[in-house]
A and B are shown apart, each in its own frame.
Chain A
Amino acid sequence: MNSLSVNLAGVELKNPVMTASGTFGSGMEYSEFVDLNRLGAVVTKGVASVPWPGNPTPRVAETASGMLNAIGLQNPGIDVFCERDIPFLKQFDTKIIVNVCGKTEEDYCSVVERLSDEPVDLLEINVSCPNVKEGGIAFGQNPAALESITKKVKKYAAQPVIMKLSPNVTDIAEMARAAEAGGADVLSLINTITGMKIDVRRRTFVLANRTGGLSGPAVKPVAVRMVYQAAGAVKLPIIGMGGIATAEDAMEFILAGATAVSVGTANFTNPCATAEIVEGLERYLEEQHVEDIRELIGAVR
């Protein structure tokens, strides 16, 4: 049997396939279609210190080979999350990665601290959401701010910290280095690319928030390029994402330098996408006569 297992900052994943934050809730809804035991990890939707109502609707719009979303990080708050969502995920043999959001550095740190005695495997810090006015991307577009928040979060974190990077920057390598300097254990990229859609008949914005984050196959070449650049700039393991819908897509990211991959928008097109990608990777290794997927991480240089 070929090996699909990978290691992220000391956490052993049975395979490199995980869900992308915000597309999979905490796994409850999709567990009707996907055996969560098959996944390397479930990455939850972003959770903050208190419940957030999110943005007005419409919150989504389809675009060519992509979609825009401006959900605005609606979430039930960390208390309910710890009581309800973590115990749900603990029933499965998969790693739990909690995505953390906040408006201030203190917000992030309080959630991270609250999670320190919870049975979660990794924390993903969302400093790259383009759809909220405060916090979010403000920390993810300035290298000094990114390094500072990474350092602060690391002080409170009991689990390894993944910093999730925004593609809405001039130089992704600089941002990757800033997160590494701040003490990040893992990087994940890309979050969505800020976009806009206009309804020409109604002569208005399609999204109530005016702008939204573009995801789906349309962003994949941008994401692969950024993962390649980040992998060249830092020694940290990288979780690659952006338009992955098939095992071949996942392999592009791995060959570009990603240790693991996240599947997001593809869940909406095919609720079984994650499990099918795991099967596709097993087939790929067999066809390519590769015993261990780790041999292929960053193999294209």
Chain B
Amino acid sequence: MSKKVKGCLEVISQEALGTGIYSLWLAAGEMAEAALPGQFVSLYSGNGSRLLPRPISICEIDREKGRLRLVYRVTGPGTGTEEFSRLKRGDSVRALGPLGNGFPLSPAEGKRVLLMGGGIGIPPMLETARQLGGEKIIVLGYRDELFLKEEFEKHGSVYVTTEDGSAGTRGNVLDAVREHGLSGDLIFACGPLPMLRAVKAFGLEKNIPCYVSMEERMACGVGACLACVCGSEKVDDHSRVCNKRVCRDGPVFLSTEVTI
């Protein structure tokens, strides 16, 4: 587990990538040095009435310059994410990270990896794609508006799906996988629960190991409060019940370890 750093990070830049989707570069020093693909960072609101940190996945890691890129969706008016979307160059934001385990890169060495991202589960797949050495097939599932697609194209062959059919295959990531007959030795996926459920079923059907990044409402972000649990197939060694902590034991799990 990487060293967790608590700090006030300076904003290097922020831009909108689409409607309600923002890309934030932060000067993160040690936090960037320690970060792994698939990990997340807790961002704290500057508004004292919002107590809980917002867990945001890491989209890119620039170790040389000590920078982290977070790409996130604004969840609504008057929310913490809306507050973050107004941050400008030179502003600062309190953060804790990197948190969680991240995608395991060593089992992927020399393998053909099928990377799947759905919605706001797309951003963490970018750094994962960047750090994976071998052949990559990337499937990105959007509601309608595309973001980060060109950046993924540098790292592998990209297939797009949209729910409204405005680009690529109409439907979800699994529809594109089936339409193009895509496969791999290993699957890495991040997205909404129904997508992860379908990915797990696909992996079992084709006998391909899947690593899925889970999402759950969090409070502490470090594994103490037991808010963000997901079901586990077997009794977990830490909790001694069939529960795992998404923030600390995950967010990335082997799909066969967890109930989705």
Binding site for B on A (CB under 8 A): 22-25, 28-30, 32-33, 45, 51-54, 57-62, 64-67, 69, 71, 74, 76-77, 80, 216-217, 265-272
Contact = CB atoms under 8 A, between A and B. Distances in A.
- Closest A-B pairs by Cβ, 4 of them: A76-B240, A25-B224, A29-B224, A60-B227
A22 B225 contact: yes
A23 B224 contact: yes
B242 interface: yes
A71 B240 contact: no
Contacts of A52: 241
B52 interface: yes
Most buried by A among B218, B230, B240: B240
Nearest to B216: A57
Contact of A267 (B216, B223, B224, B229): B224
Interface residues of B, number: 32
A69 B227 contact: yes
B228 interface: yes
A81 to B, nearest CB: 9
Contacts of B226: 25, 45, 54, 59, 71, 74
Given A52-B241, A57-B216, A80-B240, A268 B225 contact: yes
B224 A67 contact: no
Interface in B46-90: 48-53
Contacts of B220: 23, 29, 267-268, 271
Contacts of A69: 219, 225, 227
Given A54-B226, A54-B243, A57-B228, 11 more contacts: A29-B222, A32-B4, A54-B229, A54-B241, A57-B227, A64-B49, A65-B49, A67-B52, A217-B48, A268-B219, A272-B6
Contacts of A54: 226, 229, 241, 243
Contacts of A66: 51
A62 B243 contact: no
19 contacts: A23-B220, A29-B220, A29-B224, A33-B4, A51-B239, A52-B241, A58-B227, A59-B226, A59-B228, A60-B52, A60-B225, A61-B217, A67-B219, A69-B225, A76-B241, A77-B240, A80-B240, A268-B219, A270-B44
A30 to B, nearest CB: 6
A156 to B, nearest CB: 24
A271 B239 CA distance: 22
A51 B239 CA distance: 8
Contacts of A33: 4, 6
B222 A271 contact: yes
Contacts of A269: 44, 51-53
Given A59-B217, A60-B227, A53 B243 contact: yes
A248 to B, nearest CB: 14
Interface string B183-226: 00000000000000000000000000000000011111111111
Contact of A62 (B52, B216, B221, B225): B52
A235 B241 CA distance: 41
A85 to B, nearest CB: 11
B241 A268 contact: no
Max chain A C-beta neighbours (<10 A), residue from B4, B223, B241: B241
Contact of B222 (A30, A45, A58, A266): A30
A74 B245 CA distance: 12
Contacts of A64: 49
B239 A60 contact: no
Contact of B216 (A25, A58, A217, A271): A58
A60 B240 contact: no
B137 interface: no
A70 B151 CA distance: 41
Interface string B157-178: 0000000000000000000000
A52 B239 CA distance: 9
A216 B50 CA distance: 10
A33 B228 CA distance: 20
Nearest to A23: B225
Contact of A76 (B219, B227, B228, B239): B239
A133 to B, nearest CB: 17
Given A269-B51, A272-B6, A74 B243 contact: yes
